């Protein structure tokens, strides 16, 4: 009886260990992918801000600077933030749908 209990306990221990490592690996890959996407988005946002700052700091004429700001809306940063947030949410949605479909098909 003790031998059967040891075999069953060993089997369930192995099964639990296998499932834990499998799903933790999947979760870590997903989190790394999301982190990389967020880092790329933040880098792109900072690059746009630096580009605008560089352009405005190089314009010597106040009239040209005034024309630039007439073309560049005052809420441009808010618009970029909303666009990038929507891109990140769409990416997360597509990623989760892919994961759910993969789990459902297996």
Q: How many domains does the chain have?
A: 1
Nearest to 36, CA basis, from 78, 94, 92, 105: 92
Query: Mean per-residue pLDDT for 22-29?
Result: 75
The residue among 71, 38, 35 whose CA lies nearest residue 52 is: 71
Domain with 57 in it: 2-105
pLDDT at 1: 66
- Please give the pLDDT value at position 62: 86
SS3 67: helix
Q: What is the pLDDT of residue 106?
A: 65
Reported as a single tens digit per residue, the pLDDT across 34-92 is 888 888 888 888 888 888 888 778 888 888 888 888 888 888 888 888 888 888 888 88
């Amino acid at each position: 009886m003790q031998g059967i209990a040891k075999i069953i306990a060993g089997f369930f221990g192995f099964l639990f260990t296998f499932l834990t490592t499998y799903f933790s690996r999947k979760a870590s890959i997903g989190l790394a992918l999301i982190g990389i996407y967020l880092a790329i988005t933040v880098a792109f946002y900072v690059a746009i801000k630096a580009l605008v700052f560089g352009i405005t700091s190089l314009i010597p004429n106040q009239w040209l600077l005034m024309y630039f700001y007439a073309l560049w809306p005052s809420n441009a940063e808010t618009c970029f933030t909303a666009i990038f947030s929507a891109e990140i949410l769409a990416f997360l949605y597509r990623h989760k749908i892919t994961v759910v479909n993969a789990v459902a098909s297996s």
